[in-house]
Amino acid sequence: MARYLDVHPVNPQPRLIAQAAELVRDDGVVAYPTDCAYALGWRIGSHDALERVRALRALDEGHHFTLACHDLSQASQFGYLSNASFRAVRACVPGPYTFILPATRDVPRRLQHPKKSTVGIRIPDNAVAQALIAALGEPLVTTTLRIAGDEEPPLFGWDIKERLDQSIDAVLDAGEGSADYTTVIDLSGPDPEVIRHGAGDASRFE
């Protein structure tokens, strides 16, 4: 049964954030709010959590996983950024973007794209997400929370709790979420490529 944590959206309670971070350290999977849709998050080194999420979302081996980072300094430990890319990313974060970057050695192979050796990097503009990442002390592996058969992500923590109670370990409910997705920009090649238009303005990369 998933633990239900009613978290303040602007000033998240440290006690509740600490509980969620501890569950993640124990190989748990948590649902948490972002500046777009609610997401699933788990620890970088947890193979068990990764496989649970693959099964839950019916993801294939080619799925691009994302690391939700606290800031650009942390992000640069896991994804290579050229000087030009660094400036472009710095102008957009924190915000509703996912950047595809060449993975560093700190990214486990199972989290990298199997052919491109890349990884998604995200710095969410959300107080709860930022507090959770800070309490954990490392990025969260993350993917948008989609429930099989639904066209849109769930908007409410109580709905996630009700429907995924036996599949995840905690829900951080910070009120109504969004059905938006991040804008995805591939910065792994010689020129930026917009992979998906979402909540973030992609015009600077086009």
One of 3.40.50.620, 3.90.1200.10, 3.90.870.10, 3.30.1300.10 is the CATH number of 3-200, namely 3.90.870.10
pLDDT > 90? residue 92:
yes
Kind plus residue range of the DSSP H or E element containing 66: strand 66-68
Residue 114: the pLDDT is 80
Residue 200: the pLDDT is 96
> For the segment 93-125, what is each residue's pLDDT rounded down to a tens digit?
999 999 999 999 999 988 888 888 999 999 999
For the chain, give every domain's residue range. 3-200
Residue 52: the pLDDT is 94
pLDDT band at 199 (very low <50, low <70, confident <90, very high): very high
Question: How many angstroms separate the Cα of 155 from the Cα of each of 32, 59, 64, 197?
Answer: 11, 21, 23, 20
Q: Are 128 and 112 in contact (CB under 8 A)?
A: no
